[in-house]
Amino acid sequence: QVFTFNRVEIRVQPSVKVKNGAPMSIICRADISKNTDFPLKHNFTIFKNGKLVFMTISDKEDARYEIPVAKSSDTGDYECTVKADGKLGFSSSIYVWVAGMTKPILTADKKEVLEGEVVKLRCELSEETPPLEFFFRKIKTNSAPKEKRVPEQTQNFSEVEYYVEEGDNILQFDCFAKRQVRSGWESSQHSNKTLVTIKIGSHVDMYVYLYVYVYSLEEPFIKPTLITKPSSNITEGDQIEFECSTVVAEIHDIEIIFQKNRTILNSVRDKKFLKYSTVATQEDSGDYLCKVEQGAVSKTTKLNVFVSELFPKPTLSASMTKLDESKDLILSCSINGVKKANFSIVRKSSSGDILLKSSRVLAIKVNVNDTGSYTCKAEVKGIVKESKPVRINVYAPVSKPTLSVVNGSPEVVLGKPLQLICHSMMGTPPITFTFYKGDEIKKNVTNDTYATFLDEDIGLNDNGGYKCDARNNHSSGAKTSNILNVTVIVPIKDASLGSVPYGEVEVGSDTAFLCSVKEGSWPIDFKFFKKTDHEVLLHEVREYSDRTIWHKKTMKRKDTGTYYCMASNRASMEVRSRPITISVILAAWQKGVIAAFVLTAMAGAGAVTLWWFLRKKKK
C-alpha cells in the first residue's frame, strides 16, 4: 500500500470576508494519490494564528470546521495539516476577515453624584474575545466629548472611573471598542448612552443653579484668580511676577499649582496665595495655568502672556562652508538692527559647547579636525540668544588609489565575473570612486575609503585596461590608479586521444599516444590513464602547447586495454577524452617460430607412426 500527498488545500465558505454574526465554514482537503484503493485514516488539524482550533479523524479526504455565528475574534490566518500513516501534509495560509463587531453595553454604578465624587463605568462586549481596546466618552452639553482609551489583553470588558469636575451638570456617557485587523482597526457601534445627574447638597439638582455664581459653603473653594505684574507691554529682560490666589472654606489640604503648558513652575500647600517671578524671555510667551485642588475637586484659571522681542536671534555667516585644509576661514556674527551686544563664537560638541572667541569675528587656518557645527551667541541686558548652527566641512586630499582583484590573483576565467576593489588610504570622506574599462566609465560609487566593481561581461580580449579614479570635495581633483592588466583564462575544450599505431600493436614495439585539445589557455596539464578496476595514471606532463605526445616503449600483452587522457589549466576544470582500445598482438617472426615448431612436431609424429606401421606389417 503506497500513497503520497499531492497537496493540502484550505478554503472558506461562503468567502474569506464574512459579516459578523453570519455562519462560516473552514474546509481542509487532502489530495492523495494511492497505488491501490485502500482505506486510510486522516487526522485533520486546523490552526488559527498558529493556535489549534479544530481536530478530527476521518476516512474522508476532507473535514469541515463549522462556525455557526462568526465574530470579529474569528478574524485571522488559518492553515491546516493532514496526517496519515506517519506522513504529514501542510496547506498554505489563508486570511479570513470577519467584518463588524457586536454592540457593547454600558452601565454606571450611580445615576446621581455630587461634585468631586466618582462615577464608575463598565463597558462590555460579551460575544467578543480579547485583545480589545475600549473607548469611553464623557459628553457635556455644548462641549466636545472627552475620551479615555483602555486596552484590555485578557478580558472582554473594561471599567473606568470619572471624577465629577467643576462645571459638570447633566452628563452622558457612552463607549465603543476597537480590534486590530490586518487592514487596520475595526470599530464596534457606540453603546447605549447612560445619563448621570450632578447634585449640589443632597437633594437639589445642579441644573437649577446653572446661571448662579454665588459662592456658598457647598463649594470647598472658588475658582482661582491669576494676574501678572506688569499686566501688559512685557519685553524680554523685564522682571515678570505671577500671582495666583483663591478663597477657601477649609485651608487644610488645599494645594495651589502654577504651570506653563504641562510644566509645573511652582506650588504651595495649605496656603491661599502663590507667587512666581522670572526674567522674561520670548520663550516665556504662552498659556499659564493656576490650578487649585482639594481632594478630588480641581478648579483652573488660564492666562495668556505675550513677551515682546528685545532683539532678534544673531546670524552666523562663514566665508566658506566647504574648504581645503590649511585654508583661511572667517566666521562673523551679527544682529539685524542691533550694534551693541556681547558676542561669542562657539563650536558644538557632544560634551558641550567649546568657546572659541568672545568676539563677533573669528579667523582661523583650518585642518580636518575643524570639521563640525558652529554657532554664535549674543547677550543684551542679560538675555542670551543663539544663532542657527553653520556646518563647516574641511577636506584633506585623497591619496592615489590602488586597484586590485578581490581574490588577489589578476586572472579571470572566460565567462566568469571579475570583482575589483579600489582603495584610497587617505582623504576626507565621502569619496567618489569611478571605475573604467578601457576608456569607458563602468560605475560610480560614493563611500568612505573603498568601493568595489563587479564586471560580469568578461570577453576573450579583455586582458587589461582597468583603472579607477578617487575624488572628494578637495580642490585638488581626482587621483587615478595604475592600469590593472587582467589575464583571461580560456577553459579547456574538447580533449581527444589518438595512438600510432592505432588499434593493434605488436608485442615489443613502441606506441605513441597523442592527447590534444581544441582550445584552452597555456600551460596545459596532460594526464594519460589506463582504465582497469580503478583509474591508473600512466604519465603526466605540463605543456605550453595544445597537444602532447607520450611514447610508450616495448608494449607487452598485458598492456592490452582501454586508454584515455585528461587535460586541465588554471581554469580548474578537467576535460576527459573519449577512450580508445589498444590490442597487443604477437610479432610476425614469433608467429613463424610457433608454426615451425608445430610442423616439426607433426612431422615427427608422422615418422613414428609410419615406422610402427611398417614394422607391424613385416612381422
For residues 322 and 310, what is the distance between their CA atoms, to the nearest angstrom? Answer: 34
Convert the pLDDT of each residue in 563-580 to its tens digit. 999 999 988 889 999 999
Q: What is the pTM of this model?
A: 0.48
Residue 212: pLDDT over 90:
no
pLDDT at 201 over 70: no
Residues 6+ away with beta carbon under 8 Å from 240: 228, 229, 230, 234, 277, 278, 279, 280, 284, 305, 307
Q: Domains in the chain, please, with CATH? A: 3-99 (2.60.40.10), 105-198 (2.60.40.10), 214-305 (2.60.40.10), 315-332+341-394 (2.60.40.10), 402-489 (2.60.40.10), 493-585 (2.60.40.10)
Element at 593 (helix H, strand E)? helix 588-618
Residue 82 · residue 4 · CB < 8 Å: no
Looking at residue 203, its pLDDT comes to 38
Average pLDDT over residues 489-498: 90
Give the whole-angstrom CA distance, residue 16 versus residue 50: 18
Longest Cα pair distance anywhere in the chain, in angstroms? 183
The pLDDT tens digits for 508-539 are: 888 999 999 998 889 999 999 988 877 888 99
Q: How many CB atoms lie within 10 A of CB 604?
A: 10
Flag whether pLDDT at 433 surpasses 50: yes
Whole-number average pLDDT of the chain = 86
The pLDDT score that the predictor gives to residue 415 is 81
Q: 464 or 318: whose pLDDT is higher?
A: 318
Place of cell 472654606: 249
Share of the chain above pLDDT 70, in %: 94
- Unique residue bearing C-alpha cell 585654508: 327
The whole-number pLDDT of residue 47 equals 96
Confidence of residue 204 (pLDDT cuts 50, 70, 90): very low
pLDDT of residue 134: 95
- Whether the upstream peptide bond of residue 491 has omega within 30° of 0, thus cis, is no
Residues 427-452 have a mean pLDDT of 90
Distance CA 266, CA 289 (A): 11
Taking residues 108-135, report their average pLDDT: 86
pLDDT digits (tens, 9 = 90+) for 326-368: 999 999 999 988 878 899 999 998 888 899 999 999 999 999 9
Q: Which residue has the higher pLDDT, 263 or 242?
A: 242
Give the dihedral sign, CA 608/611/617/619: negative
**Which residue has cell 470546521?**
65
